[in-house]
Amino acid sequence: MLKGKTALVTGSTSGIGLGIAKALAQQGANIVLNGFGDAEGPKAEIAALGVEVEYHGADMSKPSDIEDMMKFSASKFGRVDVLVNNAGIQHVAKVEDFPVERWDAVIAINLTSAFHTTRLAVPDMRKTNWGRIINIASAHGLVASAQKSAYVAAKHGIVGLTKSVALETATTGVTCNAICPGWVLTPLVQKQIDDRSSREGISIEQAQKDLLGEKQPSLQFTTVEQLGGLAVFLCSPTADQVRGVAWQVDGGWTAQ
């Protein structure tokens, strides 16, 4: 379905981003990976799916790096057809204790980076009259939790950005939507489980159960494959009129 198209997935060296990159590659899209840590493993996994793959190590908190990554993608593949804004970090602290530099980093990486990639991708998408912008928000884009002020602010912000961009592109073949996962067992969440286990002196298994039990009525993690499947659907012609949604994949979290 996506043969000949190019997908740039930010923060795709691990977790949800890598899962979505694989799902798009399975549909034939060439992939630009981004993120920290080992890039060779993820690159090889994508190449094994028979598509072309490139990697750019832009730090998503730096606008000049992002501009460089967008230029790099265009120089390798002509343009970006599918933009998945996924890179994200978390920091957990009470608002009065929240380190100012962590606040700035969470907002820069989880929200402002999507503004930069989007503003730079939309002109080419308008030219070809086709494009897909998929923002990985969160259940925390729709409801809050204590001690996550920066993350909740950034995720609510990206849901708002999604709606504005969807309206600005509404008469074109470019769509912009958000996906709002509940708990997904990735390194970002594993850290919160580990912290909980050591803070409360309970096993990792118990910490996992408690984490799900608090928020996610299905008591099961959302998987990266399920999120990849939704991203593929949003790229399909069936989704041409799906515009500006914030689509929960959260086991019922936000239905409560």
Residues in region 195-254 near ligand NAD by CB under 6 A: none
Residue 243 contacts residue 175 (beta carbons within 8 Å) = yes
Q: Pick from 26, 49, 52, 89 the residue near ligand NAD by CB under 6 A.
A: 89
Please tell me whether residue 88 binds ligand NAD under the rule CB under 6 A.
yes
C-alpha distance from residue 139 to each of 40, 50, 67, 158, 247 (Å): 31, 34, 29, 12, 9
DSSP structure string for 220-243: S-B-HHHHHHHHHHHHSGGGTT--
Number of residues that bind ligand NAD (CB under 6 A): 29
Q: Pick from 183, 197, 207, 246 the residue near ligand NAD by CB under 6 A.
A: 183
Please tell me whether residue 161 binds ligand NAD under the rule CB under 6 A.
no
Q: Is 82 helix (H, G, I), strand (E, B) or coil?
A: strand
Sign of CA dihedral 90, 137, 108, 18: positive
Cross-strand bridge partners of residue 128: none
Please tell me whether residue 109 binds ligand NAD under the rule CB under 6 A.
yes
Q: Pick from 36, 44, 95, 127 the residue near ligand NAD by CB under 6 A.
A: 36
DSSP structure string for 18-63: HHHHHHHHHTT-EEEEE-SS--HHHHHHHHTTTS-EEEE---TT-H
Nearer to ligand NAD, 15 or 228 (CB): 15
Element (H, E) at 120: helix 113-128
Residue 55 appears among annotated catalytic residues: no
> Which x/- pattern, by CB under 6 A, does the window 119-158 give for ligand NAD?
-----------------x-x--------------------
How far apart CA 56 and CA 43 sit, in angstroms, is 11
Catalytic residue among 55, 77, 151, 183: 151
Q: Pick from 2, 7, 9, 15 the residue near ligand NAD by CB under 6 A.
A: 15
> Catalytic residue numbers?
151
- Kindly list the residues in this chain that would bind ligand NAD in the complex (CB under 6 A): 11-17, 34-37, 59-61, 86-89, 109-110, 136, 138, 181, 183-184, 186-189
